[in-house]
Every structure is written in structure tokens, then in C-alpha cells.
Amino acid sequence: MKYQTMTEILFKVIIIGDPTVGKTSFVQRYVNDAYRRDYKMTIGVDFALKVVKWSESQTIKLQLWDIAGQERFTSMTRVYYKDAHACIIMFDLTQQSTFQNAVKWKKDLDTKCSLADGSPIPCLLLANKCDLSHREVQQSDIEDMCKEHDFVGWTETSVKEGLMIEESMRFLCEEMMTKHAELDGFSNSMARSMVPGSTIHLRSQQTEHKESSVCSC
């Protein structure tokens, strides 16, 4: 009897953005499928681990680094960003300032972190709290920011309702697997398989995919 060897790939993903946008809740929802309203403020950085069976022969081990958004911790971001494979920048749809600050987070990331070949790490923009009726940021503005600042894509999410959490991370894993294959000298087709019906707004050199709706809130 032949036994198939299981390959385990370790990826470090950092989650950044202003305080109270939902970073800790996002991690807990994705890892434990749990949501609470009273998470304590992150001091420095918190860690979580998620193991994903990617295929019959590949397992992805995700190290999720939930990085504090308070300004007094930004001096440590170079240390926290080190060796990251991908990033999520999150903002709050009900607070315009957190959307504007997402650009600052992206610029900080790009100046301090890159992949082994010198290219920027894949960065996904998440617009959280789409379950709330009040909003201060429009989809057209998010799309423009995504294009201008080279995010791999964006989507609206609701951590509270569990909307677009798994899909967002699946999409980011696909981006990391593609980069992993490129850096190893393999063909892109060996690593990438887009999820049917995905509502991530993809932005890349090869593909531009737009959907009229992100989540039905």
C-alpha cells in the first residue's frame, strides 16, 4: 500500500489597521468561529494558529499576527512585519478616518516588508462592519484606493455576522500559494484555483474581477 506524503507549508499573516476596526474579532471568528463584543485592547501583538487542509497532499499552517493599532506600538511594526507572507489591512465602514488611515498602514507595510524576491507581500483590504446601516465609506472609494495602492483585492466583511471571513482567508491563501510557487520556480497553475462565486474584488496585473455586490447585509 502506498501512502501519500503530506506537505506542510507555514505562512505568516499579519493583520493591521486602526484600533477598534475588528482585527481581534476577525482572528477569533476565523480561528474559533466565535464572536464577542468585549475583547480587550491588543497590547503589542497577539498570535493565533490555524491549520488548513489545502489539498490531498498539502496542509497550510497559518500564523496570524494580530498587531495593535495604537500609535505607541507603531515603532515596533518592523519587528512584527518581519518574514510575513501576506497582510490584511482592515478598516471600519462607519468611520471614514480608519479608511483614510488604511493608506498609511499600507505605506508603512511596503517600506518595511517584502518577499524574498523583493516584491511587495500580498495585501488584502477588508471593509468591516457591513452589517451596520450607517456607513461613511462608499464602494467606489474603496475600489479607487485598492487600485491606487496595489492591494490584491478587497471585500466588505461583517465579523459579527461571519460574512466573508472564510472567503477572504481562502483568497489570501491562494495568493500566498501562488507566490510560494513562483518563488519555488513552479507554474502558477499548480498553486491557484479560484473559488467559484467568490465576491472578492480582485486587483492584479493579469486579472480584474468586479462584482456588483459584496455582501447581502
pLDDT in tens, 48-105: 999 999 988 899 999 999 998 665 456 667 888 999 999 999 999 999 999 999 999 9
Q: Which domain holds residue 26?
A: 7-209
- Per the CB < 8 A criterion, the answer to whether 87 and 16 are in contact is yes
The whole-chain average pLDDT of the chain stands at: 83
List C-alpha distances in Å: 57 to 6, 9, 37, 167.
5, 11, 38, 21
| Residue 215 pLDDT | 38
Identity at 50, one-letter amino acid code: K
Name beta bridge partners: 203: 208
**The three three-digit cell numbers of residue 100, written as one number:** 483614510
Residue 43 has pLDDT above 80, yes or no: no
| Residue 194 pLDDT | 41
Q: Is residue 217 part of a domain?
A: no
- Per the CB < 8 A criterion, the answer to whether 148 and 105 are in contact is no
Which of 201, 198, 207 lies closest to 178, judged by CA? 207
Identity at 171, one-letter amino acid code: F
Mean pLDDT of 113-120: 90
Q: Is residue 177 part of a domain?
A: yes
Q: Is residue 64 part of a domain?
A: yes
Q: Is residue 2 part of a domain?
A: no
Among 94-103, 152-161, 208-217, where is mean pLDDT lowest? 208-217
Q: Is residue 45 part of a domain?
A: yes
Residues 6+ apart with CB under 8 A from 77: 16, 67, 108, 112
Residue 13's SS3 state is strand
Helix (H) / strand (E) element for 89: namely strand 86-92
**The three three-digit cell numbers of residue 24, written as one number:** 481581534
Q: Is residue 214 part of a domain?
A: no
**The three three-digit cell numbers of residue 168, written as one number:** 477572504
Q: Is residue 125 part of a domain?
A: yes
Terminal-residue alpha carbon distance, the chain = 51
Query: Which phi and psi (to 5°) does residue 151 adopt?
Result: -75, 150
Q: Is residue 215 part of a domain?
A: no
Among 85-94, 169-178, 196-205, 208-217, where is mean pLDDT lowest? 208-217
Q: CA-CA distance, 165 to 159, in Å (whole number)?
A: 7
- Total domains in the chain come to 1
- What CATH number does the domain containing 55 carry? 3.40.50.300
Residue 18's SS3 state is coil
